[in-house]
Amino acid sequence: MPTDPKPHATIEKWIWILIYAGLFAFVLGLATARNDTALGWIIAVPGVIVTAVGVVLIYVRSRLK
């Protein structure tokens, strides 16, 4: 059974993907809200949620041994 030299590499990758994608969606939602408020919030709110999941994963990673 091969061992991963960096056991936390996968979670580290997902943390940054979620944070950056969430922030991108949030900013895109804010920009869209100028023309269509409802659509802007539909894009921005999931972006905030995805960013929050990334931040929670940082805490989870800190608790892993």
Q: Per residue in 20-62, pLDDT tens? A: 999 999 999 999 999 999 999 999 999 999 999 999 999 999 9
Query: 6's torsion region: left (phi>0), alpha (psi -120 to 50) or beta?
Result: beta
Residue 4 lies in a domain: no
Question: What pTM was estimated for this model as a whole?
Answer: 0.84
Residue 33 lies in a domain: yes
Residue 20 lies in a domain: yes
pLDDT band at 6 (very low <50, low <70, confident <90, very high): confident
Q: Which domain holds residue 50?
A: 9-63
Residue 25 lies in a domain: yes
Measure the CA–CA gap between 15 and 27, rounded to whole angstroms. Answer: 18
Q: Which of 27, 7, 30 is nearest to 19 (CA)?
A: 27
User: CB of 60 within 8 A of CB of 45?
Assistant: no
Torsion (CA) 31, 35, 39, 41 in degrees, nearest 10: 50
Residue 28 lies in a domain: yes
Number of domains in the chain: 1
